[in-house]
């Protein structure tokens, strides 16, 4: 259920980023591509980059939570860190904030996904070794 909450939060944020992109399209009157508009390009990339990372985060989060071999607190901490990092990243692209917020946003997004990926490989690797190869470790 924890991952479902983050799916809702991230879905809501995706709509916000989509609306910001549409707003830039209406302002610039560019319906396809980005033309010469840096603001439209920034809004489009903030939305696209968010979607690219959010889907991977959610897939790993749901899988890890369903398997149940990680503490709920870990799912919460990773989820909070991911949401905050994506907000920080998007804020810099759309709001023109300091570049350090964008850099920290992507760094912490990578760290969260790396932790999830390693945890998933450890859990599934143990299962594979035990159930496929018949070895007990």
Task: Look at residues 69, 21, 78 and name the one whose alpha carbon lies nearest to residue 46.
Answer: 21
State the residue range of the domain holding 10: 2-131
Domain assignment of residue 69, yes or no: yes
Q: How far apart are CA 102 and CA 94, in angstroms?
A: 10
pTM given for the model? 0.88
pLDDT tens digits, 53-77: 999 999 999 999 999 889 999 999 9
Asked whether residue 72 is domain-assigned, the answer is yes
CATH number, domain of 94, equals 1.20.120.550
Q: How far is 109 from 34, CA to CA, in rounded Å? A: 26
The rounded distance, in Å, linking the Cα atoms of 71 and 49 is 28
Is residue 57 domain-resident?
yes
Q: Scan for tokens 């990680």, then name that residue.
A: 70
Count of domains forming the chain = 1
* Residue range 85-130, pLDDT digits in tens: 999 999 888 877 788 998 999 999 999 999 999 999 999 988 888 8
- Contact (CB, 8 A) for 104 and 45: no
In this structure, is residue 136 part of a structural domain? no
25 within a domain of the structure (yes/no) = yes
Residue 20 falls inside a structural domain: yes
């Amino acid at each position: 259920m924890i991952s479902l909450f983050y799916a809702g939060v991230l879905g809501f944020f995706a709509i916000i980023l989509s609306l910001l992109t549409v707003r830039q399209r209406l302002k610039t009157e560019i319906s396809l591509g980005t033309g010469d508009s840096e603001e439209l390009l920034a809004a489009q990339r903030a939305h696209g980059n968010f979607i690219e990372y959010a889907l991977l985060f959610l897939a790993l989060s749901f899988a890890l939570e369903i398997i149940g071999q990680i503490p709920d607190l870990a799912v919460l901490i990773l989820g909070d860190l991911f949401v905050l990092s994506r907000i920080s990243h998007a804020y810099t692209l759309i709001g023109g904030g300091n570049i350090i917020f964008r850099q920290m946003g992507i760094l912490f997004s990578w760290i969260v996904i790396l932790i999830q990926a390693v945890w998933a490989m450890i859990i599934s690797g143990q299962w594979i070794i035990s159930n496929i190869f018949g070895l007990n470790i």
